[in-house]
Structure 1
Amino acid sequence: MILEKNTPSGNGIRPWIIDTTLRDGEQAPGVVFTAGEKYRIAQLLAEIGVNELEIGYPAISSEERENIRTIAALHLPVRLTSWARASWDDIEHARSCETEAVHISFPVSPLYLQLMQKDYLWVQRQLQELVPKAKKYFNIVSVGAQDATRTPYELLKTFVLDAEACGADRIRIADTVGIATPISVLDLVGRLQSVSPTALEFHAHNDLGMATANAFTALEAGCSAVSVSVTGLGERAGNAALEELAVALLLNNQFQCKIDTTKLAMLCKTVSKASGRPIQDQKPVIGKSVFQHESGIHCAALLKNPLSYQPFLPSEVGRKPHELVIGKHSGSAALKHFYHTRGISLTRDEASRILSLVRRSADEKKRALTAHELDEIYAIRSQKG
C-alpha cells in the first residue's frame, strides 16, 4: 500500500493533491456533468499530474456507479477514490465501483450530530465497525470529520485518535462552511499532528475567500494532503482552486509539486464549459484580466521585463502572452508599442498628442479602446497634420 506523505525530498516537500471536481465540484447548484465530460475531465486531471481523484458518490444512483466504473476501467495513472457516508450500504456501493480508495464522511460537530439526531458514541461505533470492514476491500480508507472547524478541539482530537485506532489511513479535516483562516489552520493542524501520526488532509471551502490560502497553509503546517477542485467549483462559494494552489506551490521553493501548470488553462476551460460556469475576468491564474495591463507605469516596465508586474509568465499556465490595453491610464510607451506593431513609428511629440486624444475618447466611452478605434484616431490625427 502506498500512502502519501508530506515529507521533504531532495528538492522540497511533496504535497499530495486530491481533486474533487467530479464529486464536490458537481455538487455546485445546477451543475451536471455528462458521462463523456466526466471521462474527459478525469483524463485531463491525470495528465496534468494530480495525485488522486475523488470521482463520485456511488450511492447517489446506478448511473453514477456506472460512470465511476467506466473511469476506473481507463486505468489512469492516478489514485481513484469513491465518497461515502458513514453507512455500510454506501461503502458497498463504492466497493462495486472498483476504486482503489474510499472516503467515509462522519458528522463530528455538535451541530451536525444534532441535525442527524446522533451523538458521538454513534460516531465511535461507526468508526469501529466500518473502517476495519472497508479495509478488507480498499487499499486506502480515508475518513472525514465534517464541520471540523466548528468542532470543539477536544472532540475533534478524540475523533482523530479514534480514527487512528480503527486503522484509518488518512483523516480529512473539513472546513465545511469555509470559516477557517490561515492562522487558525496553522494552529489546528499543528495541534492535531502532535497527537497522531496518521496522515491529515485539509478540505477547504471558499465562503470567506480564503480557501486556497487555507489549503496552502495546511500544507505548510504539515498536512499530507489537500483537496481542491478545478476553478474552485463547488457548493456556495466553492472550494480551494486547483489552478491557484498549483501555481502557488510552483512559485514556492519549499514544495516539489508534479502538476504540469502549462495545461491549467485548457483544463479550466474544459471544466468551465462542462459546468456552465463562466470564468470571471478577474479569476486568479485563468481570468481574462490576469494578463491585461493598462497603467502607463506598468506597461512601460512590462515592455522591459514581463515579470515586473506579473508574478509568473502566461506561458507557465498555458496562456497567451500578456496584453497591453490602451485606455485612460495608458502611457506613451504602450501607445508607441501598439502603433509599432502596426508598422507605425511615433515620435515623442506625436505619441503625446495622440495620447491626449486616446484618454479623452476612453473617458467618453468609459472603457479601453479597440484596435480599430486606435487606427481611426491615428488616421484622423494624420489628416490634420
Structure 2
Amino acid sequence: MPITPAHHAGNPSGRPWIIDTTLRDGEQAPGVVFSAAEKKHIAMLLAECGVDELEIGYPAISPEEESAIRSIASLHLPVALTGWARAKWEDIEAVLRSGTEGVHISFPLSPLYLKLMGKEYSWVQDQMMELVGRAKRYFRLVSVGAQDATRTGTDSLRQFIADAASCGAERIRIADTVGIATPPMLTELFRELLPTGGPFLEFHAHNDLGMATANAFTAIAAGCDAVSVSVTGLGERAGNAALEELAIALTLSGVYETLIDTTALTNLSLAVSKASGRSIQPQKAVVGDAAFQHESGIHCAALLKDPLSYQPFLPALAGGADHALIIGKHSGSASLQDYFSRKGIELRRPEAMKLLMEVRIKAGEKKRALTPGELETLYSHLQS
C-alpha cells in the first residue's frame, strides 16, 4: 500500500491522496475532546477504511497529547502518519518525539495573519529555510502550510511555493482557513498555481459557506494532488470537508480511484460521533438517518419499482441500512400498501385511499410522521 506522496505521484492511476485530519483539526472543534483510547480506536478505523494519511494531532499542546500520538504510531498502521506543528523548532521536536514519519509545519501567509503576528514575509522565508532543512534530517515527509491562503494574493502564493521548493518541502498545503473559497475561485487558483511545478499541492477546506466538500472535489478536479478531510466534516466552526461525502462523490464520479472502503463509512461516522459528543444530524449527507428516508407519495411509488429512482446510490454503498418509506402527510397509497403487505395484510386500493385520508389528518395534527403503532391503530379503527 502506498504511504507517502512520493509513492502517490508514481501511482499510474493518478488517484487523489486523501489525508484525514479528524484527530487534529476535528478535535479542535469547540468542546470536543477525544480520550487516548478513542484516538487509537478512530485511527484504527480510519486505517481500515483506507485513507492514505492521518494527521493525528498537535503533540506540542501537552505531554498527554504527545503520548497519545506515540501510542498510535506504535501500532504501525498501514497508513502514513503526520504530526502538526507551528513554525517553531520546539513544536517540530514534539512531533519527532511522537514517532510520526511526517511533519506538517504551518506558516502564516496572508497580510492579515502576518500583521497579527507582527511579522514580515521575510520572516516566513527565514523560518522555512531553517526549519524545513532541519526537519528533513528526521522525517520522511515535510509538509508546509500556507495559512489563510485564499485571502493571500496569487503572486504571494507563487512565492511561497517557490521558497518551499527551494527548502526541500515535499508538499504544500493551500489552506482555506476561514472557508471563503468557492469552486470557480479554486479552479482559477489552481490553474494559476499548478504550472509552477515543484512540491505536491494539498488543499485544506473549511465549511463556513457550506462548500468544503465541493471545494475539495473541485481542487482534485483542478489537478491538486491531495486534500484533507475529516469524518462527518468535524472541525473548527462549521467544520471541514467531510470524508464520507468526498469518498462517495469520488466513487460515483467514475473518474477517480481511491483506496477507501466506502462500506466502512457509516460505522466510522458513528464512532466519531460517539467520541466527539456531536450527534449526526438527520439530514447529514451520506450517513444521516434522513438521507435515505422517503415520504412523498410520488417518490415512494417509484422507489418501490426501482430504489435508484430517487436515490443517488444505495445506502449499502456507505455501509448504511436499507432505505425507509416513512408514512406521513405526504405519503401515497403505494406506501401504505407496501407497509401492510410486509405485515402480511393485503390492502386493496380503495381501503388504502380511505386509510390515507386518516393518515394525513393525524399527521397534520401531530406535525410529524406516524409511528407504526399509530398507523396500525388507524387501520384497526377502519376495520371495526
TM-score tier, shorter chain, comes to over 0.9
- Give yes or no for the alignment of 1:308 onto 2:320: no
Distance 1:339 1:71 in 2: 51
Which residue in 2 is equivalent to 1:75? 76
Q: Deviations over 1:147-202 (max 9, x none)?
A: 00000111111001100111110000000000000011111112111112320000
Alpha-carbon distance change, 363 to 8 in structure 1, aligned in 2, over 3 angstroms: farther
1:56 aligns to what SS in structure 2?
coil
Q: Which runs of 5+ in 1 are unaligned?
A: none
Distance 1:51 1:41 in 2: 14
1:145 aligns to what SS in structure 2?
strand
- Give yes or no for the alignment of 1:157 onto 2:158: yes
Which residue in 2 is equivalent to 1:3? 5
Counterparts of 1:290-369 in structure 2, within 5 Å, are 290-369=291-370
Counterparts of 1:187-206 in structure 2, within 5 Å, are 187-206=188-207
Kindly tell me the number of residue pairs found equivalent between the two proteins.
382
Alpha-carbon distance change, 337 to 191 in structure 1, aligned in 2, over 3 angstroms: same
Distance 1:264 1:223 in 2: 24
Counterparts of 1:138-157 in structure 2, within 5 Å, are 138-157=139-158
8 Å CA contact 1:296, 1:332 repeated in 2: yes
Which residue in 1 is equivalent to 2:38? 37
Q: Deviations over 1:48-95 (max 9, x none)?
A: 001000001111111111111110000000000000011111111111
Distance 1:179 1:277 in 2: 24
TM-score when normalising by structure 2: 0.97
8 Å CA contact 1:5, 1:16 repeated in 2: no
- Give yes or no for the alignment of 1:243 onto 2:244: yes
1:315 aligns to what SS in structure 2?
helix
Distance 2:11 2:87 in 1: 35
Which residue in 2 is equivalent to 1:59? 60
Structure 1 residue 2: deviation in Å?
A: 4.0
Alpha-carbon distance change, 6 to 210 in structure 1, aligned in 2, over 3 angstroms: farther
Counterparts of 1:205-244 in structure 2, within 5 Å, are 205-244=206-245
**Identical residues among aligned pairs (%):** 64
Which residue in 1 is equivalent to 2:17? 16
Which residue in 1 is equivalent to 2:85? 84
8 Å CA contact 1:86, 1:105 repeated in 2: yes
Distance 2:154 2:330 in 1: 51
1:304 aligns to what SS in structure 2?
coil
8 Å CA contact 2:57, 2:69 repeated in 1: yes
2:92 partner amino acid: I
8 Å CA contact 1:171, 1:199 repeated in 2: yes
Alpha-carbon distance change, 312 to 9 in structure 1, aligned in 2, over 3 angstroms: farther
Which residue in 2 is equivalent to 1:166? 167
Distance 2:349 2:238 in 1: 48
8 Å CA contact 1:6, 1:223 repeated in 2: no
1:372 aligns to what SS in structure 2?
helix
8 Å CA contact 2:83, 2:104 repeated in 1: yes
Q: Deviations over 1:98-157 (max 9, x none)?
A: 111000000000000000000000000011111111000000000000000000111111
2:162 aligns to what SS in structure 1?
helix
1:209 aligns to what SS in structure 2?
coil
Alignment RMSD, CA only? 1.3
8 Å CA contact 1:4, 1:224 repeated in 2: no
Q: Deviations over 1:26-54 (max 9, x none)?
A: 11111000010000000000000010000
Structure 1 residue 4: deviation in Å?
A: 4.7
Question: Structure 1 residue runs of 4+, over 6 Å off?
Answer: 5-10
Distance 1:327 1:2 in 2: 51
8 Å CA contact 1:164, 1:196 repeated in 2: no
Q: Which runs of 5+ in 2 are unaligned?
A: none
- Give yes or no for the alignment of 1:137 onto 2:170: no
Distance 1:43 1:7 in 2: 25
Which residue in 1 is equivalent to 2:128? 127
Which residue in 2 is equivalent to 1:252? 253
8 Å CA contact 1:212, 1:240 repeated in 2: yes
Structure 1 residue 346: deviation in Å?
A: 1.1
Q: Deviations over 1:10-41 (max 9, x none)?
A: 7x541100000000111111100001000000
2:111 partner amino acid: P
2:163 partner amino acid: D
Structure 1 residue 361: deviation in Å?
A: 1.0
1:260 partner amino acid: D
1:3 partner amino acid: P
Distance 1:94 1:9 in 2: 28
1:167 partner amino acid: G
8 Å CA contact 1:6, 1:219 repeated in 2: no
1:96 aligns to what SS in structure 2?
helix
Q: Deviations over 1:199-222 (max 9, x none)?
A: 000000000000000000000011
Structure 1 residue 8: deviation in Å?
A: 9.5
2:51 partner amino acid: V
Distance 1:198 1:75 in 2: 26
1:82 aligns to what SS in structure 2?
strand
Distance 2:28 2:303 in 1: 41
- Give yes or no for the alignment of 1:288 onto 2:289: yes
